[in-house]
Structure 1
Amino acid sequence: MADPNENTNLAFDPTHVTHIRPERKAEVGVINALVMQAFADLPDGDGHQSFVVEKLRNDGDLTFSFVSINEGRPVGHIAVFPVEVTAEDGKTKIDGVYALGPVAVLPDLQSAGHGSALVNHAIGALHGLGAKGVVVYGDVDFFARFGFSKAETLVYPGHDADAFQALSLDGEKLPQGTVRFPAAYEGE
């Protein structure tokens, strides 16, 4: 007998995130295509985001590479990698700061929660590592939803300071310093 409290009007939601997991080696081509498609209609969607992820992977710079799965296939991706932070003295390196991005979701599934789920998952994984903090460069409104705010103590030279945001993960104020992303992210 059916449960009278059960909502039987629920239809299968094809946009639903079924789970998030690490990428698999066999999915690299799918992920590259996914990232390219996700940014294709944006003003800076020239395909470089896909090449950034591929180069980060090839250079061994990815700490995490997660995919959002829907109907058994990757439909979203997030890259997580360490950044170099040099203290104000110009010599001391500060460990434990990472970056997220790009966050990519297939166009027909954008605004369905995949990007948010990926960001939350990545932040959780960084908490598990004992990371001090995480930085992002990009969509200010999107990342503000997760607690990111303008990076007051960190500087990303040569880039729009308003688009550079940070989030402390250990409850402490992030250290003062200059951030350098890996060569792959910078297009080197």
Structure 2
Amino acid sequence: MNDSILIRQETEKDFGQVEEVVRLAFGNMPESDHTEHILVERLRQSDAYIPELSLVAETGDKKIVGHVLLSKVTIVSGNGTHTVLSVAPLSVLPEFQRRGIGGMLLREAHQRAAALGYGGVLLLGHEDYYPRFGYKKASAFGIKFPFDAPDACCMAMELKANGLNGISGTVHYPDAFGLN
């Protein structure tokens, strides 16, 4: 599909390029508040950050054209608190979109997260894009998001069999998300 694209863990020297990729990826999206690049920086400074789950897509000539970040969030319910992951954000430079790079990033992030022992991942995203990767409405798992968004855009996915089994309640985002 994309033989010339390498998916690898982000390094500190990538931060400047990643910021530009994230800014440009969301630049023309009307539903964006255009602060996704600031979110990435705040998450890197937080306890929710998992360096192994901050990945870049790099071309053969070492240009970073995509980035994905999975960070820790919790689901709080009557039976306790459960740590899962959140995809935020998934970014691909506009001129490289619709080439499968976002999917490559997402699949690799899912594999690495499962290998690290995480059972589930959540996201707020386009209802027509993410289901092809296995995402379903979070409400089907009994998971609620703490903000007003269309049910079809609030999604969850199990990273391993029964990875979200018995986990329901409200998602609590770390302070880095600026929601609290």
With normalisation by structure 2, the TM-score equals 0.88
Who wins on radius of gyration, i.e. which is larger? 1
Which residue of structure 1 lines up, in the alignment, with residue 75 of structure 2? 85
Which residue of structure 2 lines up, in the alignment, with residue 59 of structure 1? 46
Distance in 1 between residues matched to 2:33 and 2:4, nearest whole Å: 27
Residue identity matched to 1:19: L
1:124 aligned onto 2:116: no
Moved more, 56-65 or 18-27: 56-65
Q: Report the number of matched residues.
A: 172
1:184 aligned onto 2:176: yes
Which residue of structure 2 lines up, in the alignment, with residue 41 of structure 1? 28
Instruction: Please state whether the residue corresponding to 2:88 is helix, strand or coil.
Output: strand
CA-CA distance at 1:61 after TM superposition = 2.4
CA-CA distance at 1:72 after TM superposition = 1.1
Counting aligned pairs with the same residue, the percent is 28
Q: 1:69 to 1:183 in 2, by over 3 A?
A: same
Match of 2:91 among 91, 104, 109: 104
Asked whether the equivalents of residues 17 and 114 of structure 1 are also in contact (C-alpha less than 8 Å), the reply is no
Which residue of structure 2 lines up, in the alignment, with residue 140 of structure 1? 127
* 4+ residue segments displaced more than 3 Å: none
CA-CA distance at 1:17 after TM superposition = 4.6
Distance in 1 between residues matched to 2:91 and 2:66, nearest whole Å: 5
CA-CA distance at 1:56 after TM superposition = 0.4
What root-mean-square deviation, in Å, do the aligned CA atoms of Structure 1 and Structure 2 show? 1.8
Which residue of structure 2 lines up, in the alignment, with residue 8 of structure 1? none
Distance in 2 between residues matched to 1:115 and 1:66, nearest whole Å: 11
Asked whether the equivalents of residues 24 and 93 of structure 2 are also in contact (C-alpha less than 8 Å), the reply is yes
Residue identity matched to 1:154: I
